[in-house]
Each structure stands twice: as C-alpha cells, then as structure tokens.
Amino acid sequence: MKLVVIGADAAGMSAASQARKRRTPDKLEIVAFERGNFTSYSACGIPYWISGVVSDRDALVARTPAEFEKAGVRVRMRHEVVAIDLDRREVVARDLEGGGEIREGFDELMYAAGAVPVTPDWARVDGGGVFGVQTLDDGSAIKVWLESDPKPQRAVVIGGGYIGVEMAEAMIKHGLDVTLLEKSSQPMSTVDLDMGERVRAAIDGLGITVRTGAHVQGIETSQGRVRAVVTADGTVPADIVVLGLGVRPNTALAVESGIPVGVTGGLRTDLRMRVVGPEGHVEGLWAAGDCVQTTHRISGQPMHAPLGTHANKQGRVAGINIGGGYATFPGVIGTAVTKVCDLEVARTGLSSKEATRAGFEYVTATVESTSRAGYYPGAETMTVKMIAERRTGRLLGAQIVGREEAAKRIDALAIAVWNEMTVEEMTALDLSYAPPFAPVWDPVLIAARKATDALLAADQG
C-alpha cells in the first residue's frame, strides 16, 4: 500500500507518523509533498520569533525532513500538488525549484493542505513591506524587512484577532509606532463586547493606537515600498503592513478534483477523518487540520477551527485509522488563548453572540478577582465571565481577561464545558489553593457562584 500526504505540517505529518507506527515500510510506503521549506513547525510561534522572545527559528520546527526520512516517511520538499485524479488514484506535483512535474500513485490519500490567509484585492500591491503571517517563510521575510535600510518606524496591523494582536505586540517590541486597524467595534471579537472593551483598554495602555470601525480601502506604495494604508476615514502612514485578516480552508485543489466542501469552505469528514461526499465517505481519502470543517460540541453547528491543537489531534486520528487502528475526533468547543505584552485573553465554549445564534437562553455572570491571595505580593486582577444555559444551568462558555496566571485557568473551564457541568456543580470543585497561586475562593469558583445566583434570579423573575 502507498499513502500520499498533501501538506507536511502538523496534520499531515501527525497522520504519517501514526500510520508508520502501525505499519512497517514493507507494508505501507508513505510519501509526503510539501510546497514550503519546512516540515512540522509551529506557526503559532511565529509572532514570538519575530518579536525576539524566541531567538532561534529552528526551535519552532518539531521534526525536520531528514528526521522523517529516517523514520520511514519520504518527504518531497518544495513540491506543490497541483492535481488529484481520484479515478486513476494519483496526484500530480510540480517541482517549485527544479521545474517539471511528477506523478505519484496512491492507495490512501491524506489531504492536509492547511489554510491560506484572507487577502483582499486591495492588499495585493506592487511593492515591498506588506506581509501575511502564515508560514516560517513569511516570518523570515518580515524579519528581513524589519532590518532593511531604511528601517521601518511605523507599523500598521490590519485585523484585531489573535494574529493581529500578537503581531502588534511583536512590532512594539521592535520599537515601532504601531496602529491596529479593526473593522468591527472591538479587537478580539471572539470574546463578548464587555470583555473586548477591557482588551482594548489594555492595548491602548501599551502605546498601540487602536482604530475600530476601520474600513481599509487600499495600500499606497512609492519607490517599491509601502507608504500608507488608506481607510474610509483617512490615511495611516506605514513602513510595514501586517495582514491579520484571518484564514480560510485551502481547499481549491480539492474542489477542482471534484471533492465537495461544507458550508464553512472546509472539507467535510466523518468522525474517523474520512472525507465525506454526497454518498458517504470517499474511499481512501482522508483530511485533517486547517482545511477541514469540524463540529462545535455545544452548538452542534459546523465551524472552521484553524488551530495547531486540532490539526495534530485530527491528523493523529486519521493516521491511526489509516494504519489499521480505530480512533475518532469528537469535535471542538472553541478554546483559545493569547497575550498582548502582559495582557492575557482566553475563551472557551460559546460567546454570548454564539449562544444566541445557536438558540440558547442563558444568563451571564462577570466577576473581578485576583490571581493570588490579595495580600500576597504580585497578585494581579482578572475578569472572569461565565455563560450558563437558563433551563439546565449548564456552562455554555467562559472568558478570562487578566494578567499573569490568569489565562490558563480557562483549561478548568474548558473541562467543565466539555463535560457539560452545571455552574452549581462547579461551585464545589476541589480546586487547588495556596496564597502564591490563588485566593481561598478561586476566581473560577466565584464566577460559578455568581452564575448560579443569576440563574436563580432569572427563574424567580
């Protein structure tokens, strides 16, 4: 048998590794195609490498092509798969450096092409200094530009999501004057408005100029370099522009090959990560990572969740099944975390807007507390918000905004959401306590108590 993998990053190589563990090279040949220069790297670490927090680019690479070759996975670097023939069971790949094309037959095909940055027409300009942040090559290009002559002094980051705020921090650490443009009413729109306002206030305090409701219309260049970003409300000078407008599933090749996609634009799969078509799963075709559509466990709705955590888990599930085992991927609950300088932001489950869209009736509870006992040195304030279903009291979602030791508390809340705990049940959780680590009533417990009170008040009302 032969397994061909399209995309040699998290999902693809997790699948290849798991399949190899279960079938020896004489039983299963594995060939992976990668159009870039790296395998199995942490794209999430790119902003921190650019900022200088991570000094070594190679530290972001989990396994090199040579290591995969040694493990029995043949990797064709700088080869882009340009066609899939499901009838003939082969792919066509273009050699991006040597030229020409090759054909590779397969028995099993792993589609792990990832995602591509959202790039509007106005962002496609002739001139240097405009960058996406998707690959290590993108990161390398930004690093080079930051050291170019003349050195950039003014940065504009377009998009106030996770990548946007992380890259704004990176630009601040390089000493640039930074403007963050966001078209919605707040940065970090994945959290509720009241929590987003806290994020904005903290970002403003870092010296980053935040402009919400900003509708970008174009980018001006001169003498081969970016000069400004044009918005409906005026022009913002820029020596470097970073695009943080999100990503979409990289499924163009799949669609061209007759493979259907779901409502999010990602490939639809079953629980075992087999691609699903109009008549059920497509024999011998698997998909995982940022190119697939997954299901939110709370709302039951399809969603696109481009995170390395999901890509690795989905790839592992696919590889186990390809190798003859049995595994399933149960869906996601939208857990995410980020930081801007010393501000930490985390969420899990549904936001208020998402809960409303899914049809839930709910109450919310927001508390201000501290990361440690108030009398212990270094205690920092944090805000915890809970969203609970009105009838059942089930925790639907939670958000945290705070500083040191705040964000990772979201993991306890994610476990509660995953296991459909009620906020009343959570009030009795046996969470750890010592003054250096938490108040005697942890912020999670205080929020659960307040949410329980809110449910009681709603019933009495």
Residue 32 near residue 108, CB atoms below 8 Å: no
DSSP conformational letter for 325: -
Distance CA 393, CA 411 (A): 19
Q: Strand 130-131: give its sheet, edge to edge.
A: 130-131, 240-243, 154-158, 177-182, 209-212
Distance CA 285, CA 149 (A): 49
Catalogue the long-range contacts made by 372-381 (C-beta closer than 8 Å, 24 or more residues apart).
372/405, 372/435, 372/436, 372/437, 372/438, 372/439, 373/435, 373/436, 373/438, 373/439, 373/440, 374/439, 375/435, 376/435, 376/436, 378/404, 380/404, 380/405, 380/406
Is 291 designated active site? Answer: no
Supply 49's token pair: 């490498």
Distance CA 337, CA 340 (A): 11
The distance of Cα 322 from the centroid of its chain, to the nearest Å, equals 26
Distance CA 322, CA 3 (A): 8
Pairing of strands 240-243, 154-158: parallel
Residue 160 near residue 153, CB atoms below 8 Å: no
| Residue 300: CB atoms within 10 Å | 10
Of 243, 267, 272, 128, which is closest to residue 183 (Cα–Cα)?
A: 243
Beta strands in 258-361 (DSSP E): 274-277, 280-287, 294-295, 302-303, 336-340, 343-349
Q: Choosing from 29, 37, 42, 44, which is the catalytic residue?
A: 44
How many angstroms separate the first and last alpha carbons of the chain? 65
SS3 111: strand
| Residue 242: CB atoms within 10 Å | 28
Of 128, 123, 122, which is closest to residue 227 (Cα–Cα)?
A: 128
Catalytically active residues are 44
